[in-house]
Structure 1
């Protein structure tokens, strides 16, 4: 009896009503001809829901019903979470540009207000005045020589923090935002697995 080893993928993205095959949801190892035969076995169509779970049992049943002479070994008992991607209507470039511009403006205003409120709370102007007085011995109500570089430094510092100016020497380090988005996606997938398994 021929053996195949199967490891289910954790998450996949598929269009609604797309045909699913074993190769879409699992990594298959075994003799070449057996491997190709198993990978081509259809599982069914993706449902209209936003998420769908495919269990190892479901995959095993599909393989057994098609090729009963195969000895199946699952490497783990991980389920596949299918993220159903619904087709969206094509948006005009003008509307897309308008939406992106609005988001950028709103974010810029929000960030500016947050920074200004923070500086007001800690009396940053007084701090700059005091630093200027210590360095020069002169009292100045508007020490622009300190305030302007400080303001520019905030912008440059944020850009450096998000890895958007200087190329990283390792080439593939994610930005903090990308790390947070990845963490968020893992939590969503874990929650959806738990929710779908309770149904």
Structure 2
């Protein structure tokens, strides 16, 4: 009987604190029916309080566990060689006063950034010149242009970020989501390199 087990490690999984990490949690498995039931339930790691937020489980750890329990199987690994286990700690609710303070701070900060940008590029003078070109009259505050322009900025931001509150307009990721994804990829790469002690070893040469 073919005793080959094919593994494809998941990139990142989330488990509760003090969970027992089984192979089925962190890997996709293809194997003969009698074997897959056994290997799926094999305990790979026990999460403890010392693990803090994340644990990196690499392929060598998994192979050693499989070989310990099933000496005769052949293991074929496909794809990633590490899985990041995120420990899903209970999130504390943000106090309404703190939420309101942060919201007001961000609102004022973004408003000042927009106003400073428009001041740098002399947007008011541009509107005045456009208004003069269209009407032949001088107006220091051409609301005819400024009001639609202000509304357009808000609508443009909604379209750009592809969100209005929790509603999405289409399935395309927004630029903010892409940046968050890239940031998460960088964090995962850092964790894989430095949280896994087997990846960084120092040898003293004598």
Same topology, TM > 0.5: yes
Cα deviation for residue 167 of structure 1 reads 5.4
CA contact (8 A) 2:10 2:28 kept: yes
Choose from 51, 56, 59 the match for 2:54.
51
The structure-2 alpha-carbon separation of the partners of 1:158 and 1:88, relative to structure 1 and needing over 3 Å to count, comes to closer
Map of 1:23 onto structure 2: 24
The CA deviation at 1:17 is 1.4
- Say yes or no: does 1:198 pair with 2:197: no
1:141-172 alpha-carbon deviations (Å, 9 max, x no partner): 1111111111111111001101125954xx42
CA distance in 1 between counterparts of 2:91 and 2:113 reads: 35
Task: Flag the 1:86–1:164 CA change in 2: closer, same or farther, 3 A.
Answer: closer
Query: Which region of structure 1 is more displaced relative to structure 2, 75-84 or 173-182?
Result: 75-84
Partner of 1:39: 40
2:10–2:80 Cα contact (<8 Å) kept: no
| SS class of match (2:56) | strand
Task: Give me the whole-angstrom Cα distance separating, in 2, the residues matched to 1:101 and 1:53.
Answer: 37
> Mind listing any 5+ residue stretches in structure 1 that lack a counterpart?
none
Structure 2 regions of 5+ residues with no counterpart?
202-206
Q: What is the CA-CA distance between 1:76 and the residue it aligns to?
A: 4.0
Match of 2:127 in 1: 128
Mapping 1:61-100, distance limit 5 Å: 61-76=64-79, 78-89=81-92, 91=93, 95=95, 97-100=96-99
CA distance, structure 2, for counterparts of residue 46 and residue 156 of structure 1: 47
**CA RMSD of superposed structures (Å):** 1.9
Cα distance, 1:88–1:134 mapped onto 2, change above 3 Å:
closer
CA distance in 2, matches of 1:5, 1:86: 32
Q: CA-to-partner distance for each residue in 1:95-154, whole Å, 9 max, x for gaps?
A: 2x4333322211111110001111111111111111100100011111111111111111
Change (3 A) 1:77 1:138: closer
Question: What is the CA distance between 1:67 and its match in structure 2?
Answer: 2.1
Deviates more, 1:38-47 or 1:182-191: 38-47
